[in-house]
Structure 1
């Protein structure tokens, strides 16, 4: 009986060690891949470390390492784009680019990852130019550059907006123990599209500004000069709004005071 128990125990240990060795060999010879998605508008060739690997949209599983990615438009009138990216195992890096005649008119998004201490995902948002408004899942979270901690793992929607620049958004996935860095290159709005809607006829109440109040600016831009301040619960007429409705030009009795972010207002019913 004792010999049988010893035999069974020996067999179990052998099976256990065999499983460990098999998993080790699988991990050694077949390491986890890193995902890469490259998207462009219009279609373009994709080069990795100087070698053409396909056309956009390009979706592949690659060896985790740092690579040089180049997006070369098929239209010779458009400007190419290239950047270095570190591909991380088990996560997908996303590179999106809207190509134009110059880098200044081009826009794009690069979503990359790096390991961090702790299990909670972290999101870092950077933009060119900076001071762009950041929305995560349609909630305003601040202005670039911005780092957000204690984010739930899973799918999210990230968007950036800045006056006189085209709004950009991307669907992202956060992972436990990883920091997601999203770099946004914003393109200026074409001159003919930089319009405001006039002849508005409603009033708003100032909200969510606390005792410090809210700065009124000369232009609908956070970098514009301050021309005054409004306080919590005060009411004003909206004289104009930007096309994306993110800024209001407020006043009283048709006398303009300046521009404020619409997120700090509440429309007064009946107006």
Structure 2
């Protein structure tokens, strides 16, 4: 019987994912030569069948869109953190066959900010109102002592963000996207929008900005991140988030701690530079 241990990232589309690069770099640094990490194109309809076909050699799954909510009914247990935002990005298979769901995006955000010296802020802004924005609110619930202002495009999105705030214990005020330049008055701005969405805001970055957390990693830097850095502001990027959440995944799946953060980041940077 083979002693190979398997893990993989699932999603649709999935070809762009850096997760295999990060996890394989971790396995190499940890000397886990019998571990493999794959990438599979899986959508919501095919997820139950894929999971049903996994054998005892499987130790974990990383999940990206659109599977973070769809996987929850297939699990035996979901962590409080994942349940709080109704999103699982990590599944760990135990020796007795149980499937445990967690969310490492939220602690990954906190760890990425802490690495840049941001441990607590009195207020913050969030650009956008999608799934990543709810994870951002969950992270801010742990480090922001005051109000969070969410800049959104519709009344429906505004209602959603206020609802997430109530659920997560965060005071959320909503404002129109047209006023998003005002977001930069806060000591921390979290941009959770798709590529290109914030480009027009680059010219509005103030002379002495606080910290920007832009969750994108490709293309990088975004126009907003470049303008922010040029004005002397601290910038936390999507690769920082990706690496920190992957560190936690590796530790949960392999049982080895600490995961090799530096080696994983170096591998991710090299992979992005080669694209």
- Normalising by structure 2, report the TM-score: 0.21
Larger CA Rg, structure 1 vs 2: 1
Relative to the length of structure 1, the TM-score reads 0.22
Task: Compare relative contact order (CA 8 Å, sep 6+) and give the higher one, 1 or 2.
Answer: 2
Bigger proportion of residues as helix: 2
The structure where strand makes up a greater share of residues is 1
